[in-house]
Structure formats: structure tokens, C-alpha cells
Chains A and B, each alone.
Chain A
Amino acid sequence: MAKKEKITASGPKKKYGTLLTVLFTIISLLWISPIFVVILNSFKRKAYIFKNPFGISNVPITRGYDRWVKGVEKTFVGFLNYTNAINKTGFFKAFGYSLFITVASVALIVLCCSMCAWYITRVHNKATKVIYLLCLFSMIVPFQMVMFTLSKFANMLHLSNPVGIVIVYLGFGAGLAIFMFTGFVKSIPLEIEEAAMIDGCTPIQTYFQVVFPIMKPTAITVAILDAMWIWNDYLLPSLVLNVNKYKTVQIAVQNLKQSYGQIDWGAMMAVLVLAIIPIVIFYIFAQKYIIEGVMSGAVKG
């Protein structure tokens, strides 16, 4: 902190700082401008999206204000694209499935993997060592390696539904989560747990009353990283889920393209906006945790 003050306090640096502020304001607005372009186009008739993606009228203003306004009227379709998109993709249902799958998977991963990590760190034998090494190993295996067999096994075990896929996510996400949790457990002094055990706590009580609360920072990191992964995952759910019945948001978006026909770009713009808005809202509220999660995740990963 002291360092920062020193830098900003000196005279010439301040001018330099204002310049940087202006420069970065421009850059960062440009950086997120694609999102605004999509929002703008989501209100336009699909035929006009590609004709003038950055304007709101199909007639340039140089050709007179009246014609320009007429152009706007012709281009603007209100919420038509949104109703189309919601009907075509079943967006709200897809959103519900995505939300359920993400929340349930993350909760399960955090709970089960932290327990597993604690156990394999505290119990030293060959089995726990093997588990740890397998977890490390699973982190370097790309999904393509298991995608075919995993999706077929999931299908056979009746996991092709939003509840079943949670188990698949636990299995495929266990490697990284256990790795991160074990890294943290190693730093927890044994004395605390021993004290609890001496007080008569069973290992389960010890774990939930003593260990898990200490692990909270890592749990948040794991939760953030896995939530980002699962919410945005396309390939795994598209292969594992019975996509006739259950679509996640990513699948719904991609399906707009895959049906036999050309993309309805109006509906596409609308569904993109619908997909982005919840993320932005979540980001605004959980920004601190997300950024910290990414920072500490990287240091350990």
C-alpha cells in the first residue's frame, strides 16, 4: 500500500496517471463493446442485422433525418426476437437446468472432494497415495479421451439427466478439486484436529466443525473455478444429457444453429443477450470472490 502511494503522489506521475486513465477507459469500453453491439442488434429485424450491425437504422443519417427515422422504424422490432428466441430454444427451461446442474455439481464437488482430500492427506497408506496420484493424472487427460466412453457409460447407468450429470461432473471434476484441497489441508496444523478429537469428536464431527470452516477460502476458489467451468461447458452435457429433454443454455444456443436451416440471427442475438445478462449480474455481485478465486486458483494450479 505504501508503495502505491509513493508512486501516485509524485507530480509528473499524476499527469501520466490521468493519461493512462483516459486511455484505459477507452480501451476497456472498446473491450466490452461487442456485448453492446449484440444488445443493439437483438432489437433489430433479423434481415437488417448484417446490413448495418453498428447502426440503428438501415438508412444512413446523411440521407436526411426523416428517412433515417423511417429506417429505424423498419429496423426496430421491439422484443420480437426475444419472444422468438425464448420459444425456439426453451430458454427459461434451459436456464433452469443450467442453474440446477451448476449449483448441484459445485456443491457436491466442494463437499465430497474436500472430505476426500482431508482423508487422503491425513491417512497415509498406499491406497490414499494411489488416489492422489490418480487425481493428479486425471488433470492432464483431455476430455476428448473419455468423451465417447463416458457418455455411453453415463447413458447405461441412467445418468443422462440433470441429476445424473451431477455425478458425472463430480467424477470428472474430482481431480482438480482434490488436488487443490489437499494442497490446503497440508497447511492446516494437526494440533487443531487432534484437540477436537481428544474432546471426543468423531472424525465426521471434527471434519464439519473444525476442518471444513478452515478450508472455506479454498472451497470458494474451487467453487468459483468449477462454476465457471460447468456453467460454460458445452461438450460434456451435449454428449451426456438426453438433449431431447434437457438442454443447458450452451446447448440451447448451439442448437439454434444445428437445426436444419439457417441461423435466425435475430433470435440468436436475443438468446446471446439472455445468456450474458445473468452472468454479468452475478459477476457484479460476486466480483471480489471471483477475482480472488482465480488468483489463488492459479497459484495452486
Chain B
Amino acid sequence: MEKAIKRYWPVFVLPTMAAFIIGFIAPFIYGIFLSFCKFTTVVDWKWVGIKNYTRIFFVNGKLDTTFIHSLWYTALFTVVTVLIINVVAFAIAMALTKGIKGTNFFRTSFFLPNLIGGIVLSYIWLMIFNSVLANYSKTIVSTQWYAFWGLVIVVCWQQIGYMMIIYIAGIQNIPGDMIEAAKIDGANNWQMLRDVIIPSLMPTITICTFLTLTNGFKLFDQNLALTGGNPGKMSQLLALNIYDTMYGTTGWQGVGQAKAVIFFILVAIISVIQNKLTTSKEVQA
């Protein structure tokens, strides 16, 4: 059978691969190449070696901290959102698997914000934040910390529903007899949670953690629309910082591309760790 199918690659594989090359492979390879070039468009590049990479950190012979700032700002943001989203989503999922009346409606409401795009979502909250904060003579971009918590709230609002759904799926997959057995053993609620539910949810927890982790790391739309990086680029997450370097200043496209390569490496490392963890967990289970 394999032989029969094999001849049909122009039908089955070619269209996707052609698009894949245009949409991913060629831009990726060329992107890495351009990170070592000075360029304004893709045709007029000039090889500059690792200069773009040093320029990320040193400008005019001085240390430039904007990228480093956005790096740790992003890291902190990611840690905070991962914690809040997962804890809250898990708690809601637990409650909504107890069979209380109206579960369907609750699930629907919690999930709804996830369907609204990051741009639209951010303007909703920008209006609310600024009208509330105006009473205290503050705005969402008064300091980088207002911006930070504003972003955290928006992202939590968006993603808690999504993660909740995944946790619900996980909880419903826990075999009923395991819980029954624990009950018969006289386990209280806390013990049940700690010894039965959480251990059997480990794969789900890993999935959700890494989904939120990469989402946090790659966040762009909300950042652009809610704070625009203000005040003074202090609330730029990595993705926005790269975008700003690439499109904000002529002559800096190469540096922006170099930042993007570093960004890619960071995301890749996280993903590899995730992969290691999930596969090892699966082996255990």
C-alpha cells in the first residue's frame, strides 16, 4: 500500500510543503541569515557579522539596558501569570466538576473572553482601568507596575477560561474508583486533593503550565494595545521590544532580527524542557 500512495506526493504533500516553505522555512532560514546583516529591505543586505548581537546590549560603547529590562520584565510577567492562571483555573475547574446547578452557564461565561482577540480585549480593559484609576489620579501607564498588573489582569481574564476547560477535561478523566477508594480509606478533602487528584492530574498540569508559559513569553497584542510599552518603553515585553526595534527605527532592523533569534532560542529551550517533562511523565504513567 505504501508504494501505491508514494507516487501521489504531488497531491498530498506538495501544496502544504510549498506553503510551508514560503510561510516558514524560507523566512526562518533567511531570518537567521539577516540577523548577521545590516539591511532595510530583504534585498539590500550587507554582512556585518555579530555586530547586531553586540548592539543589542552595547550602544555607542555604553550598556543599553532596554532589552535586558524587557527580558526580566517578561520573565516576571510570565511567572506571575502562570501561577495565577493555573491556580484560579484549577480551583474553578474543581468547583465546576462538582455537578452544581448551572455548571454549563458558568463554564460558558468563563470561557467567553478567550474567544475575543487580544486587541479588542485590551481596549475593553483600557477603558475600564483608566476610568477607575482616574479617581486616584493614576493611569494604566503611570508606572511600569500599573502596566504590569494591568497586563496580568487582562491576560488572566483571557486565559483562565481556556485552562479551566483543560483542567475540567483532566479531572473528568480521573477514574471514579480511585476517588471512591480514597474515600473509603477516610481521606479528607485536603488529602484527596494532595494525594489523589493532583498526582493524577500531573500531565494536565504540565500541559497547562507550559501553555501559559509560552503564551506569557510570546504575548504581543495585549501589550501593544493596552500599554504600547509605556511609560517610556518600560512595559515592553520581549515581543513588543523586538517589534519596536525592527519597525520603530530605521537602520535597526538587523538588531531587531538578532533579538528575534535570541527570543527564538529562549522559547525553544522552554519547549524542549516541556517536551522532556511531558514524555517522562507519560513514561511513569
Contacts and interface: CB of A to CB of B under 8 A. Distances in A.
Interface of A: 2-5, 7-8, 17-18, 20-21, 24-25, 27-29, 31-32, 34-35, 37-38, 41, 49-50, 53, 112-113, 115-116, 118-120, 122-124, 131, 134-135, 138-150, 152-154, 156-157, 159, 167-175, 178, 190, 193-194, 197, 202-204, 207, 228, 231-235, 249-250, 253-254, 257, 265, 268-269, 272, 275-276, 279-280, 282-283, 287, 290-291, 294-295, 298-299, 301
A232 B118 CA distance: 7
19 contacts: A49-B127, A49-B131, A53-B131, A119-B8, A142-B239, A144-B264, A149-B27, A168-B23, A202-B4, A228-B114, A232-B116, A253-B123, A254-B224, A275-B116, A282-B115, A291-B165, A295-B166, A298-B166, A299-B207
Interface in B149-207: 157, 162, 165-166, 168-169, 176, 179-180, 204, 207
A74 to B, nearest CB: 18
A148 B34 contact: yes
B24 A268 contact: no
| List of 7 A-B pairs having minimum Cβ-Cβ separation, nearest first | A171-B23, A232-B117, A119-B12, A171-B19, A28-B109, A146-B27, A149-B27
Q: Which of A24, A27, A124 has the most CB of B within 10 A?
A: A24
B16 interface: yes
Contacts of A25: 102, 105-106
B30 interface: yes
Q: Which of A49, A265, A291 has the most CB of B within 10 A?
A: A291
Contacts of A32: 109, 112-113
A42 B210 CA distance: 37
B42 A123 contact: no
Nearest to B108: A287
Contact of B264 (A141, A174, A265): A141
Given A123-B6, A169-B23, 14 more contacts: A2-B176, A24-B106, A31-B112, A115-B12, A122-B1, A122-B5, A134-B24, A139-B271, A144-B263, A145-B264, A157-B22, A174-B23, A203-B4, A298-B204
Contacts of A146: 24, 27-28, 31
A152 B22 CA distance: 11
Contacts of A123: 2, 5-6, 9
Interface size class of B (residues with CB under 8 A): 35 or more
Given A17-B99, A124-B2, A146-B28, A294 B166 contact: yes
B211 to A, nearest CB: 7
A194 B74 CA distance: 52
Nearest to B208: A298
Interface string B88-106: 0000000110111110011
Contacts of B162: 294
B130 A50 contact: yes
Given A147-B246, A197-B4, A115 B16 contact: yes
A149 B23 contact: no
B212 to A, nearest CB: 12
Contact of B27 (A2, A53, A153): A153
